[in-house]
C-alpha cells in the first residue's frame, strides 16, 4: 500500500488535469495476494481509499511479443520485427477467440471483456490493427463502469496465490473447473524475448 499511496500523487494530478477522479486499481501482474491474510488486508486498504478493483478477463502474453519486438526494433532487425508484428496480430485473434469461448463455459455467457494491454512500442505500432480486430469480432468499446455492470463481475474472486491470472481463470477455479489457458507465444517469439532467438 505504501507504493499505491506514493503513486497516487502523480496519478491524481494527471487525472485531475482531465477532470477525472482516481477510482480504479489494477493489481500489478494481477497479483491480489499470496495468502488469504494479505489478500484481505490489501482489499480492505484499497476499499478504504475508495478504489474499485479493475478485474481483467482478457489477459495474455502480449508482453513477450512486445519485448521481442522492442529488441528487434532496437537492433535494426526490420525483418524479425515485421515477422513478430504479423505473428502477434494472428496470435492475438486466437487469444480473443479463446476467451470468448472460455467466458461462455465459465459464466454461461460472454460478459463485456476487460482487456489488459500494456503501453509499449508493439501495441503503439499495431493499435489500429488491434482495434480493427476487435471491431471485426463484433466488439465495441464501453466504459469500465458499463462492463462491470454485468452480473459476472459480482462473482467473488476466490483465488489466492503468488501469481496472477484472468478473473475468468479465478472464477473457474472457484467452481472447481480445470483452467483452460489461453494460447502462449510461439517458441521462436519466446526465444527472441529471452534473447536467444
Both 96 and 23 in a single domain? no
**38 part of a folded domain:** yes
Domains in the chain, number: 2
Percent of the chain scoring above 90 in pLDDT? 97
Residues 106 and 129 grouped into a single domain? yes
Instruction: Give a yes or no: residue 46 inside a domain.
Output: yes
**Both 94 and 77 in a single domain?**
yes
pLDDT tens by residue, 127-182: 999 999 999 999 999 999 999 999 999 999 999 999 999 999 999 999 999 999 99
Q: Are residues 12 and 99 in the same domain?
A: no
pLDDT tens digit sequence for 45-100: 999 999 999 999 999 999 999 999 999 999 999 999 999 999 999 999 999 999 99
Same domain, 43 and 109: no
Say yes or no: 39 and 113 in one domain.
no
Whether this model's pTM surpasses 0.85: yes
Cell of 137: 469480432
Question: Residue 77 is part of which domain span?
Answer: 62-142+180-194
In a domain, 161, yes or no: no
167 in a structural domain = no
68 shares its domain with 133: yes
- Can you give the pLDDT at residue 174? 94
73 and 93 within one domain:
yes
pLDDT band for position 197 (cuts 50, 70, 90): confident
Amino acid at each position: 500500500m505504501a507504493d499505491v499511496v506514493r503513486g497516487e500523487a502523480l496519478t491524481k494530478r494527471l487525472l485531475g488535469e482531465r477532470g477525472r477522479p482516481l477510482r480504479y486499481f489494477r493489481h500489478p501482474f494481477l497479483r491480489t495476494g499470496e495468502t488469504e491474510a494479505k489478500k484481505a488486508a490489501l482489499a480492505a486498504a484499497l476499499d478504504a481509499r475508495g478504489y474499485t478493483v479493475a478485474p481483467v478477463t482478457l489477459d495474455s502474453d502480449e508482453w513477450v511479443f512486445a519485448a521481442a519486438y522492442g529488441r528487434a526494433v532496437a537492433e535494426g532487425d526490420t525483418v524479425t520485427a515485421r515477422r513478430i508484428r504479423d505473428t502477434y496480430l494472428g496470435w492475438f485473434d486466437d487469444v480473443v477467440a479463446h476467451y470468448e469461448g472460455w467466458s461462455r463455459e465459465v459464466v454461461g455467457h460472454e460478459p463485456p471483456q476487460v482487456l489488459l494491454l500494456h503501453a509499449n512500442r508493439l501495441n503503439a505500432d499495431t493499435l489500429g490493427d488491434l482495434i480493427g480486430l476487435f471491431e471485426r469480432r463484433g466488439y465495441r468499446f464501453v466504459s469500465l463502469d458499463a462492463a462491470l455492470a454485468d452480473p459476472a463481475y459480482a462473482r467473488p474472486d476466490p483465488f489466492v496465490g503468488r501469481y496472477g491470472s484472468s478473473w475468468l481463470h479465478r472464477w473457474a477455479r472457484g467452481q472447481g473447473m480445470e483452467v483452460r489457458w489461453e494460447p502462449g507465444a510461439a517458441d521462436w517469439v519466446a526465444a527472441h524475448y529471452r534473447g536467444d532467438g
